[in-house]
Structure 1
């Protein structure tokens, strides 16, 4: 009886004694705890390895794009260069090029205008990341991280631009400049003091403002012709105005159409000044932003694959005096206001506006200053040489802007 009691007492003590429970629980949980800690370290390592892989893939893509566009390498040569570059990067970062076996590269080539080509380089690879011994306690030995790289380039990239001229052909454009056209052949030298009369032809014969304008436009277009000798990247149009808008010439490839329009302006312009309709017409022609073939964006996309930079060149030698053929102070102000509204809309639509005040009075200068895209886009010309210089500088500036945006 005593032995049975002692046996029960021993069993009860064993049952009730919990001092070993923690050790048992620890024994069961320790692999999980250690594995979780190891996995946390592996997560950091995976993030690092993926970043290194991404850098190597981006660098390889850029190396291939540079080889194609700058060094004129073939696609096969560019792929080999990219692979070598990728291996070198991975060896520098990881001590081996294990990811090179999974390296893939695709090069998409597209023909542009003339002999130009564009290239899109895509690279990809995966990298096996071995887990540390602690993570392996959870039963997984490794994982794979993947990444993709891209780069683009083009050969023979040129400027793509559309430009519309808005030119004053009012009566004051008949006035003489200070430049002599002939010392022997007489002509009527119009000025503000004899305008409206019939002055006697005299010598020397001075170049009229309209003649100076034609020479200035030729200097501008000369710059554009140098960057686009085959009429593949530049489109130009023009409109003129006196107290009403005159018929415009449409935007066409190259500058010859617009130049012909300017050369056909009358040798003795007449009428008052109203710029609002002409500027609005230029904006209307340039404004559409969709890529249908009727728009400037569509025309360029279809021919060269480039999106054009858009410009308006707005010139006057006077100040607005009319509105739709009606004169008076109120009408002059209305023309100023609506011209400025169109300028604001054009600038908001991404059109760069250049303005040229050619011996213009204060109110005309004020309008052109407000209309220009910036102070650097406003030119004040006090003589023929200044006008020619202004238009030439506009040509250079427009070509430079287009080049920066399309390369």
Structure 2
């Protein structure tokens, strides 16, 4: 028994030393473990705060841009952005914006992939820029962290920026009511048995146009923007049938009136475009902050008056985007493609009535409302 006591004592001594080493290791690592736990908690809290600030800032910018669109008043848009920011919580408090955190200005597309550049102020306004801040200098101050202040990191100071562009459009519809609109699609002849004093025959190109404009107006009615639309029609001469309006039924009624009589005359596209331009320039109806768009439709070849390229240059000089649509094989696609190029727009060709309606609907759906960060 006495011979076994020394090895046992040595073993117990080693165990005791190991326990002491573990205690020292725990004492060394415990602050590190606590710091890592605190860091993880605060990182999650910071990420939540960033998300809340982004949502609040986006919401404020959208609200301001929507008000700018509806009211056409920069001061009301500024007020709306501040009010909507206060409806959102960030780090437990509603977000308070300083007056300087909201800027009203213009967003312009700078490339084909959707990038926009915002500039504050100016005469043409379509955007609201909001800077949401929780910094030391912000009205609500910086965000106090929970645990990491123990280690010298007391505050988190996130910043979010959003620009909402409510790019409304005043749209001038310019459509063909020349004699060829009574032809059947891709037939350069009238319906057999039809006389000039009869209503428009049921299979005439005119009805495809009426259906297409109805589809266009239906699409516009489903968008969050408020687009104003004017109607001008042309044959040898041209007429403004309706000034810019949000009462789309007036556009439909004007076309229905033509359906009860026969389209006739030559094709003076330039005269129609000139009338369309004048509706977009009419300060009584046109909105100062809305973008200007003209949609020109023809089923034939310009054969009366000066070249429509002249009208396209006039439109471009007044910042009016010109889109063109040709319908039927008899339409001069190359000329109208050039008109669209000069006017900074697009050209579409419709071989039949279904395609014509889809083109009109596509143009209506392309009315942009964007967060352009």
Same-fold call, TM cutoff 0.5? yes
Is the 2:86–2:94 contact (alpha carbons within 8 Å) kept by the matching residues of 1?
no
Map Cα deviations across residues 94-128 of structure 1 (whole Å, 9 max, x no partner).
Answer: xxxxxxxxxx9526899xxxxxxx7845656469x
Q: CA deviation at 1:372?
A: 1.1
Q: Which runs of 5+ in 1 are unaligned?
A: 1-57, 85-103, 111-117, 128-146, 179-189, 299-306, 324-334
**Is the Cα contact below 8 Å between 1:64 and 1:81 reproduced in 2?**
no
In the superposition, the TM-score normalised over structure 1's length comes to 0.51
Choose from 226, 229, 233 the match for 1:233: 226
Aligned residues: 256
Asked if 1 retains the 8 angstrom alpha-carbon contact of 2:131 and 2:160, the reply is yes
2:209 is the counterpart of 1:213: yes
Q: 2:189 aligns with which of 182, 188, 192?
A: 192
Find the aligned partners of 1:261 and 1:276 in 2 and give their Cα distance.
Answer: 21
Larger radius of gyration: 1
Cα RMSD after superposing both structures:
4.4
What is the DSSP-based 3-state SS (H/G/I as helix, E as strand, rest coil) of the residue aligned with 2:369?
Answer: helix
Q: Cα distance 1:76–1:295, how it changes in 2: closer, same or farther (>3 A)?
A: closer
1:172 has 2:180 as partner: yes
Map of 2:246 onto structure 1: 253
Deviation at 1:378, TM superposition (A): 1.1
Which of these residues, 310, 321, 334, is aligned with residue 366 of structure 1? 334
Task: Give the Cα–Cα distance (whole angstroms) in 2 for the partners of residues 405 and 260 of structure 1.
Answer: 36
| 1:372 match: secondary structure | helix
For 1:278, which of 272, 278, 281 is the aligned residue?
272
Deviation at 1:270, TM superposition (A): 1.0
Structure 2 residues without counterparts, runs of 5 or longer: 1-49, 64-82, 104-127, 139-156
Answering whether residue 168 of structure 2 is matched by residue 160 of structure 1, we say: yes
Residues in 2 aligned to 1:342 and 1:70: alpha-carbon distance in whole angstroms: 36
Residue in structure 2 matching 1:319, options 275, 296, 301: 301
* 1:214 Cα deviation from its structure 2 partner: 0.3
CA apart distance, 1:395: 1.8
> What is the distance in 2 between the residues matched to 1:211 and 1:122?
52
Between the aligned partners of 2:231 and 2:265, the Cα distance in structure 1 is 19
SS in structure 2 at match of 1:215: helix
* Residue 255 of structure 1: how far off its partner (Å): 2.2
After TM superposition, the score normalised by the length of structure 2 is 0.55
- Check conservation: 2:234, 2:272, Cα contact below 8 A: yes
- 2:276 is aligned with 1:310: no
Query: What CA distance in whole angstroms lies between the structure 2 residues aligned with 1:62 and 1:148?
Result: 10
In the aligned structure 2, how far is the partner of 1:381 from the partner of 1:343? 21
